[in-house]
Chains A and B, each alone.
Chain A
Amino acid sequence: MPTTFPKCNPTEMMGLLVLLNSHKGSEDVALLADDLDLEIDEIFPALEFAEVLQLVKVVEGRASFTDLGKKLVGGSIRDRKAIIRDQLRKTTLFKTLLRALENAPGHALSDEDLGQIVSLTTAPADEAVQNIVNWGRYADLFRYDADERRLVLTRRAPASRPGPGQARPPSPPGTTESSSSSSSKSTPAAGPNTELRTAIVATATS
């Protein structure tokens, strides 16, 4: 599966799928854009993302649902999320990221670690990192703690949602910053996570 992640958020991609569905599941890309009064290049990122997740195929300028894409638009908001989660997991980037989280102390990665992993598989821009974090959060694969500035693996039971009472209030904004981010300013190869990084590189390049 390709690992180029276009800049697009999950809701935008869903918008494209909903639009395609209102065109009976197959339409010229130009006409899709036209329906929303958009330029064709404005729908490319969403279209490409849907291709990366194998929900849509584009052949000779015509976009059509794959079977999975058809299943996704027929499902509830929650069902759709589950499909997106499974599809993200198949990508090299998310495989790498989730494996890194599994192996990391406390199942958490700092912004720095995260930037490094993302830069191994895609362009090393902050925007790209944010984009990936956003998708992973959307798919409920991990959570991002903005106070601590770190990514934390979501523990989940395989099929069902965890029970109620999970909405714990985190500490208020602006009270932290100091604790985590400053301590890990080590050079990439010499930090406590050397082993982890080796694993990441091995996964990413395999």
Chain B
Amino acid sequence: MALIRVEHVDKSFASRHGSISIMQDISFEVKDSDFVAIVGPSGCGKSTLLRLIQGLDHPTAGSISFRDQKVDAVCPQMAMVFQSFALYPWLTVAQNVAFGLEALSWSPERIGSQVERYISVTGLDGFQEAYPRELSGGMRQRVGLARALAVEPAVLLMDEPFSALDPLTAESLREEVLQLWRDPQLPPDAVLLVSHNIEEAIQLADRVIVLSRRPGHILAQVDVDMPRPRDRKSSAFYDLTDRVYSLITEGGSAMASKTRPEGAPSAG
């Protein structure tokens, strides 16, 4: 059964010059235990799409469902991790992780043990009492991750989660997200990652959805059938990267430089 089903979704915004179409006729599915990445040039509506899926905003046309239920309000089975971490600077690590749980009618003991569990699985123990300002970027994003996972979502939505991190830190966190996703004892069942970094998408995902520039529509869904950890310097990896770059550039993208940049685009 599809976990998430996106069907013929259009999204447009009203402006002084009439309506601006952000995306057109987007359809895809996310199944249980899928790791799906969405790539595309900036402005193609990637982040908007995540917001629509979570129910933070509504499509202009088409529909989005989660486990066959139409998403028409914020779906509690999904949690988001942000590029900017979005932590509360006046709250400690433990309090930030507890934040999403306080809306639930749980006892303080249950909240406490849930917080402790997700602090531990994300490698944050020792930092419970720290404030975000005391933490490196990598540790801050772990807090963002722990906060999202603490509500035990079926789907983890990630909006450029590694883009604000230095390359080594990003490398470490990518692998940890894979670890968490693969662990059957832990949420999430599925991950939907938005990235402008094609190599990152291919490194992580089972399937890469390639969007065109605005108004975004799906150019292709590319399966990534390579064992992990994936070697970015292998020819299979290189060929796939090349294919996705070509799709985007031939799709009329404004992002494209004429030649493919050498090596990985910096994660930072």
Contact = CB atoms under 8 A, between A and B. Distances in A.
Interface of A: 9, 11-19, 21-24, 34-38, 43, 46, 76-78, 80-81, 134, 136-146, 154, 161, 163-170, 172-173
Contacts of B128: 143, 166-167
B123 interface: yes
Given A37-B167, A161-B116, 15 more contacts: A15-B170, A15-B172, A15-B173, A18-B172, A77-B179, A138-B123, A138-B127, A139-B126, A140-B125, A140-B126, A144-B134, A146-B129, A164-B117, A166-B112, A167-B94
A173 B89 CA distance: 10
A169 B96 CA distance: 11
A164 B94 contact: no
Nearest to A31: B233
Contacts of B120: 78, 161
Given A36-B264, A137-B126, A140-B125, A12 B231 contact: no
B129 to A, nearest CB: 5
Interface of B: 90, 92, 94-95, 97-98, 109, 112-113, 115-117, 119-123, 125-131, 134, 136, 138-139, 142, 166-176, 179-180, 183, 229-233, 263-267
A18 B127 CA distance: 23
Given A37-B266, A78-B120, A137-B126, A22 B138 contact: no
The prevalent SS among residues of B at the interface is: helix
B169 A165 contact: no
Contact of B109 (A24, A146, A165): A165
A13 B173 CA distance: 11
A34 B176 CA distance: 22
Given A78-B120, A143-B129, A14 B172 contact: yes
